[in-house]
Amino acid sequence: MSEKKLKVVIVGGVACGPKTASRIKRLLPDAEVTIIEKGELLSYAGCGLPFYLSGEVHDYKELMCTPAGVVRDTHFFKMVKDVTVLNQTLVESIDRNKKAIKAVNTLSGKAIDIEYDKLVLTVGGTPFIPPIKGIDLKGVNFLSTIDDARKIHDEEKNLKGKNAVIIGGGLIGIEVCESFVKQGMNVTIIEKLDRVLPALLDPEMAYHVHNELQANNVTVLLNDAVVEIKGDDQGNVKSVKTNKTEVPSDLVLIAIGTKPNITLAKQAGITIGTTGAIAVNEFLCTSDPDIYAGGDCVENIHLVSGKPIYAPMGSTANKHGRVIANNICGKESMFKGVLGTAICKVFTMNVARTGLSEQQARDEGYDFITVLNPSPDKAHFYPDAKLIIIKLIVDKKSRTLLGAQIVGPGDVAKRIEVVITSITNGAMIDNIANYDLAYAPPFSPAMDNIIHAANIAQNKLDGIGKSISPVEVKKKMDNNEDFILLDVRSPQEYEEIRIDDTRVKLIPLGKLRESLHQLDKSKEIITFCKISLRGYEAQRILAGAGFRNVKFLDGGIVCWPYKKLVK
C-alpha cells in the first residue's frame, strides 16, 4: 500500500503563501499543495507598487515575475511547482475537527470543500479605513494590491497639475508621495502627529525627511487630522477638510496603516494575540497544532523588547514562508522575531531604522545613551561622498545597541545592516568599534561611519565625552535657562549659517585655549561646530582647564532641527 500523501492547504497568496508552497514542494515533491487566493493575481511584489505608480516599473506584470522574467501566475505554479491554485476563491470557514475548509468561487458561486492535513493561513492585512465622511467618493484611493495601483494608474489620467492629498505620513504615504510628484502633481501630506514617519523616526531625525519633502515642493501638514472629504455634485472628490484648513484635491490616498485579516482565524477559535494579529509560536504554529500562519496576519516578537509587535513586511512574510514549510515537512525551524527594520527612499534622501527608537527605549524602561553622528559616507575627499546622519540608542548596562536610525543622501543601507547584525548577535559597542569592515575611499571613510558612531558611544559610556541632544538644548532655550552655547567654528562658517539664539558665543577652536578668560566657569557651556567633532575637542579642552559643567552638542549644527540663520 502506497504511503498517504501529505495534503497542505494554503489560504492566501502574494508573498508568504507562494513561498510556503514552493518550499514544501522542494522538500516533499509528493505533497499535495493547494493555494486558495480570493483575488485574481496570486504572487507579486507588493512593495513595488509605488514604483509602478511613478512609472519606474512600466508594467505591473513586472511585479509578478521571477528574476528570470517568468510571470508567477496560476499556470506557472501548476506547471513548474506542481501546486494547485484556486484563485478568485474565498475561504468562508474552517472546520478544525474535520480538518476541512469551506470555500466558494467568487465568479461562479460554486461551493468547494477541501480537506487538509496541515493548513496555512497567509491571509495578509488590509488598509485601515477611518470613519471619515466622504471616503466613498470617486477619487479616494488605498494602495494595498496591484488592483489598487492599477485603479490609480488607469483611472486617474493626466495627473500633471492636479492636486493630490495623502492622508498619513507613514511609509506608504511617503513612498507614494514621490510617485505623485514625478507625475507632476501638487502633493499635500496630512499627518495627525508631530512628524512624518512617526512610527519609525525620532523627531530630530524625521526633521531631515520633512525638509527633503518641502525641498521637493510637497506641503506637509503636521499635528492635523482629517474631518471630512468633500465632493462635487458628480460624486468626485474636490477637497479635504482638516481641523485647521481645507485642501483642494483631485485625488486622495488614504495611507494610515494596515490591520491584520483575522476574521477567518477568529471564527475558527484560533488564538488572537495582544496586538490584534494571529498569535504564533517560534515555529509559526497557531494555537491549533495543525494550523500555521505567517505574513501580515500574524504578530512577531521584538528581538530587543521581547514583546509581541505587529510589523507587516514583505521580507518577513517570505522568511515566514520558508520556516512554515520546513516545519510542515519535518525539518524543525524557528523564527525568533524581528527588529522592526525599515528602509525607504524619499527623493534624494535615504532613510533606515531598526530596533527601538529613543521613545520606545524610554517606554521600555531602559537606561540608555544616544549618539548623533553626521559624516560623509565615503572618504571626505572622494568626489561623490554624501552625508549620512546616524543615531544610535545604546543600553548603558550591557553596552549593547537597542536601536538605530540613519538618514541622508548617502549609503544608509550597509550601515543599518551592521547594526541589525550586531543587535541580533548581542554585540557590544566595544566589539563594533573594532569591526574589520571593508575600506576603500569609494566605499567608506577609513573609520567607517558606524565605527565612528560606536567610538562616540564608547566615549560617552566611559564618561570621556559628555554631550547633550538638540532636543534637550531646545528645552533649555524655551525655559530661558542661562547657559553659553559655544560655537567653535570659523568666522566664515558662522556667517554662512548659525543657530539663532542670543546665548551663542563664537570662539574658533584654534583660539579657545587663549580665550578661556572670556568664559564664565560658573555657567553651563555647550560646545558645538558643524558636526561636533571640534565641539568634542572643545569639551575636552575646557574640561582639562577646570570647567566642570561642559557638554558638546550631539551632531553639531548639521543635526540642529530648529531655526537657523542662513546667509
Q: What helix, strand, coil percent values describe the chain, rounded to 5?
A: 30, 30, 45
Is residue 202 a contact partner of residue 105, using CB atoms and an 8 Å limit? no
Name the nearest CA neighbour of 37 among 21, 59, 56, 61.
21
Distance CA 359, CA 209 (A): 18
User: Which is catalytic among the residues 47, 65, 285, 344?
Assistant: 47
Residue type, 84: T
For 276, other C-beta atoms within 10 Å of its C-beta total 12
Is residue 430 a contact partner of residue 458, using CB atoms and an 8 Å limit? yes
What does residue 332 show for φ and ψ, rounded to 5 degrees? -55, 130
Is residue 165 a contact partner of residue 176, using CB atoms and an 8 Å limit? no
Q: Please, what's the largest Cα pairwise distance for the chain?
A: 98
Between CA 528 and CA 538, with CA 532 as vertex, the angle to 5 degrees is 60
Residue type, 312: P
Residue 372: strand pairing partners: 391
Active site residue 16: no
Distance CA 49, CA 60 (A): 8
If DSSP states are collapsed to H, E and C, what string results for 296-326?
A: HHECEEECCCCCEECCCCHHHHHHHHHHHHH
Distance CA 6, CA 31 (A): 5
Catalytic annotation, residues: 47
